[in-house]
């Protein structure tokens, strides 16, 4: 055994110790939630079990779902992993505690009919089964690095336990069809919107010969647009439980803030652009702070909305255990301790187990820089706003991941198209005139997109008028024109993530049904 083997063994042991520490801290948080639930004056085994499962679910939401908010910023290196974890943890907790709401729906998304639930005991078992099954499925998805929808996880779990308790008639199958439709609608819309933003940036900035001047004109517009869209998104989604704002009012408010941001930032961006080099890397740096702010705001909005996936069933169980009578309410109040379990659990789960899915979203699907990450962040907000107004079923997780794939496929398309242009240039020059080919390609690379098109048109026309002076054989010319497809998106991840999305609802439903049967047999 050589030194390299000892080094590998040492690294594996260190990883094992780190995993053990993370697992220990997670268990400590769950035990803490269980112990605290016994100090509330109503001690019962179902309450203690529900508190532990709720804490477990909240951690899994933090470990899996939050990656969509900070993954692109980390992948583009606008944020370090440590910085992203701190910002997301603080903003997720703040969103849950400040804007998480005082009342939640007891039956998430109307997936089952509460009037068909046999009794309050069955209701408690359904909620507990759904909470545990959704948490287990999210745990499995996190282990394999697949970002999945926490909402779909809890919806599928409610469906499975509900059907097991009262039969197939309890399910709202129309909602199930909408969820299935969102598997396609969400990533496609997210990918198209993200690719559209990136293509606009390329056409107006990076394809221009003077990128600094173009950036001084366009970047303030893009940042102003981002401020406006995020402000509207925050009013409609992140603060909706504190402050009810209509769609038109949110758009007008966002537009006002966007215009103010544009006016304030325009001279600042102009000065920074003037001091920068005329390179893509320098222009990318102008998007760093907007990306950091977007990660924070997306995390805040996520905490205010998706904390209900963890605390909704827990709050429903607590409400059922602490109220007399057999009636099942459509909504339940949220005790402060339940909200704290959700808020802190999301932050703890993110800090302990979040990096794996963050790396999948930010680094493994395709290479990201700040411009690409900006496009994904815009897609995550614009698509949700548009879809909600059009009544389309979408998942924020699927939108964000679809945006990353959309960026990658656009990069592939543009790179392959550029390779075709280079092949055309070579095919329209004599083979013994390499200096002329090199000079043309240098000028072509530095030209704007409009100039590139004109240069190719002029070259083809000139060669045609000279009756093709190139000395290539047909076989050589075919080889010159052949463009090998460049793949910038990891295809294996497409299959893995798509499979995880498709089986989320049935997997969590089957788990929940099995857990319900066990709880029913235990009868506590």
d(CA 524, CA 511): 19
pLDDT at residue 386, rounded to an integer? 85
Q: 332 lies in a domain?
A: yes
pLDDT at 363 over 70: yes
pLDDT at 479 over 80: no
* Contacting residues for 18 by C-beta, under 8 A, at least 6 apart: none
Q: Specify the 3-state DSSP secondary structure of 346.
A: helix
Average the pLDDT over each of 285-294, 328-337, 368-377, 473-482 and give the range with the smallest value.
473-482
CA distances in angstroms from 188 to 81, 182, 192, 329, listed in the order given = 28, 9, 6, 37
Sign for the pseudo-dihedral over CA of 471, 476, 478, 481: negative
CA distances in angstroms from 67 to 81, 89, 270, 381, 431, listed in the order given = 11, 11, 33, 15, 51
pLDDT at residue 14, rounded to an integer? 58
Averaged pLDDT, 461-467: 60
Residues 170, 117 contacting (CB under 8 angstroms): yes
pLDDT at residue 384, rounded to an integer? 85
Which is more confident, 205 or 327? 205
Q: Specify the 3-state DSSP secondary structure of 483.
A: coil
Query: CA geometry: angle at 121 spanning 134 and 45, to 5°?
Result: 75
Confidence of residue 273 (pLDDT cuts 50, 70, 90): very high
Phi/psi zone of residue 147: left (φ > 0), alpha (ψ -120 to 50 degrees), beta?
beta
Prediction pTM value: 0.84
pLDDT at 432 over 60: no
Q: Which residues pair with 441 in a beta bridge?
A: none
d(CA 402, CA 186): 7
Compute the half-sphere exposure of residue 398: CA atoms within 13 Å on the CB side of its CA.
Answer: 27
Q: Which residues pair with 105 in a beta bridge?
A: 331
* DSSP 8-state secondary structure symbol assigned to residue 431: T
pLDDT at 240 over 90: no
Averaged pLDDT, 447-467: 66
In the chain, the percentage of residues whose pLDDT exceeds 90 is 36
What is the token pair recorded at 246? Answer: 């209509």
d(CA 312, CA 302): 15
CA distances in angstroms from 96 to 89, 359, 384, listed in the order given = 11, 24, 19
Residue 442's Cβ-count burial label (10 Å; 0-12, 13-18, 19+) is: exposed
Q: Specify the 3-state DSSP secondary structure of 79.
A: coil
Residues 426, 180 contacting (CB under 8 angstroms): no
CB neighbourhood size of 177 (10 A): 11
Q: 478 lies in a domain?
A: no
Average the pLDDT over each of 233-242, 340-349, 363-372 and give the range with the smallest value.
233-242
Averaged pLDDT, 353-360: 89
pLDDT at residue 484, rounded to an integer? 47
pLDDT tens digits, 112-164: 888 888 888 889 999 999 999 999 999 999 998 889 998 899 999 999 999 99
Q: 475 lies in a domain?
A: no
Q: Where in the sequence is the domain holding 187, given as residue range(s)?
A: 18-210+278-412+489-522
Which is more confident, 522 or 131? 131
pLDDT at 499 over 50: yes
Q: 471 lies in a domain?
A: no
pLDDT at 369 over 80: yes
* DSSP 8-state secondary structure symbol assigned to residue 360: I
pLDDT at 80 over 70: yes
Maximum mean pLDDT: which of 129-143, 325-339, 480-494: 129-143
Beta strand extents in 90-179 (DSSP E only):
103-105
pLDDT at 236 over 90: no
Nearest CA to 37 out of 321, 327, 324 is that of 321
pLDDT tens digits, 10-64: 555 555 677 888 899 999 999 999 998 888 766 788 889 999 999 999 999 999 9
Residues 159, 176 contacting (CB under 8 angstroms): yes
Which is more confident, 200 or 112? 200
Sign for the pseudo-dihedral over CA of 473, 475, 480, 481: positive
Averaged pLDDT, 441-462: 70
Q: 249 lies in a domain?
A: no
d(CA 359, CA 205): 28
pLDDT at 81 over 60: yes
* Contacting residues for 377 by C-beta, under 8 A, at least 6 apart: 72, 73, 226, 291, 294, 295, 298
Q: Which runs of consecutive H residues, i.e. helices, occur in 323-335?
A: none
pLDDT at residue 151, rounded to an integer? 86
Q: Phi, psi at residue 80, to the nearest 5°?
A: -80, 165
pLDDT at 278 over 70: yes
Question: How many domains does the chain contain in total?
Answer: 1
Q: 257 lies in a domain?
A: no
Maximum mean pLDDT: which of 81-85, 114-118, 221-225, 396-400: 221-225
pLDDT at residue 476, rounded to an integer? 46
Residues 61, 346 contacting (CB under 8 angstroms): yes
- Angle at which helices 45-64 and 150-166 pack, to 10 degrees? 140
Q: 239 lies in a domain?
A: no
Averaged pLDDT, 472-497: 65
CB neighbourhood size of 8 (10 A): 10
H/E element, 332: strand 331-333
Averaged pLDDT, 394-417: 89
pLDDT at 372 over 60: yes
Which is more confident, 358 or 435? 358
Residue 173's Cβ-count burial label (10 Å; 0-12, 13-18, 19+) is: exposed
Q: 436 lies in a domain?
A: no
What is the token pair recorded at 460? Answer: 């083809």
What's the whole-number average pLDDT of the chain? 83
Nearest CA to 110 out of 168, 170, 40, 184 is that of 170
Nearest CA to 314 out of 291, 290, 287, 345 is that of 345
Averaged pLDDT, 386-414: 87
H/E element, 104: strand 103-105
Residues 311, 346 contacting (CB under 8 angstroms): no
Which is more confident, 107 or 183? 183
In the chain, the percentage of residues whose pLDDT exceeds 70 is 82
């Amino acid at each position: 055994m050589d030194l390299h083997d000892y080094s590998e063994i040492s690294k594996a042991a260190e990883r094992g110790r780190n995993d053990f520490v993370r697992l220990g801290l997670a268990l400590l948080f769950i035990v803490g939630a269980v112990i605290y639930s016994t100090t509330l004056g109503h001690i019962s085994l179902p309450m203690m079990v529900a508190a532990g499962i709720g804490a477990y679910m909240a951690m899994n939401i933090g470990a899996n779902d939050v990656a969509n908010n900070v993954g692109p910023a980390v992948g583009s290196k606008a944020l370090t992993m440590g910085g992203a974890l701190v910002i997301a943890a603080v903003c997720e907790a703040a969103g849950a505690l400040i804007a998480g709401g005082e009342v939640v729906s007891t039956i998430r998304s109307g997936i089952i009919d509460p009037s068909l639930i046999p009794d309050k005991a069955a209701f408690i078992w359904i909620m507990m089964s759904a909470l545990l099954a959704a948490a287990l499925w999210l745990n499995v998805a996190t282990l394999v690095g697949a970002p999945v929808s926490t909402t779909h996880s809890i919806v599928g779990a409610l469906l499975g336990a509900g059907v097991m308790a009262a039969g197939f008639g309890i399910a709202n199958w129309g909602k199930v069809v909408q969820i299935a439709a969102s598997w396609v609608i969400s990533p496609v819309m997210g990918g198209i919107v993200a690719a559209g933003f990136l293509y606009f940036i390329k056409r107006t900035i990076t394809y221009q010969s003077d990128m600094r001047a173009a950036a001084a004109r366009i970047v303030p517009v893009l940042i102003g647009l981002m401020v406006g869209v995020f402000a509207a998104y925050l009013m409609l989604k992140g603060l909706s439980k504190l402050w009810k704002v209509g769609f038109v009012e949110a758009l007008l408010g966002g537009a006002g803030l966007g215009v103010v941001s544009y006016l304030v930032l325009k001279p600042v961006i102009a000065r920074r652009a003037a001091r920068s080099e005329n390179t893509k890397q320098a222009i990318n740096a102008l998007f760093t702070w907007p990306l950091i702010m977007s990660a924070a705001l997306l995390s805040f909005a996520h905490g205010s909305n998706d904390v209900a996936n963890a605390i909704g069933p827990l709050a429903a169980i607590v409400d059922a255990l602490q109220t007399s009578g057999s009636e099942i309410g459509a909504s339940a109040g949220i005790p402060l301790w339940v909200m704290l379990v959700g808020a802190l659990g999301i932050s703890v789960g993110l800090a302990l187990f979040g990096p794996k899915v963050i790396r999948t979203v930010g680094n493994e699907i395709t290479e990201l820089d700040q411009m690409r990450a900006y496009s994904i962040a815009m897609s995550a907000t614009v698509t949700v706003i548009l879809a909600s107004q059009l009544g389309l079923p979408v998942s924020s997780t699927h939108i964000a991941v679809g945006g990353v794939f959309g960026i990658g496929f656009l990069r592939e398309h543009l790179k392959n198209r550029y390779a075709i242009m280079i092949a055309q240039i070579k095919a329209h020059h004599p083979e013994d005139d390499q200096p002329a080919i090199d000079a043309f390609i240098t000028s072509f690379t530095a030209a704007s997109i409009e100039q590139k098109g004109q240069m190719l048109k002029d070259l083809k026309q000139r060669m045609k008028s000279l009756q093709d002076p190139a000395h290539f054989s047909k076989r050589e010319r075919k080889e010159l024109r052949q463009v090998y497809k460049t793949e910038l998106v990891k295809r294996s991840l497409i299959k893995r993530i798509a499979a995880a999305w498709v089986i989320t609802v049935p997997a969590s439903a089957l788990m929940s049904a099995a857990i319900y049967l066990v709880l029913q047999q235990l009868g506590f």
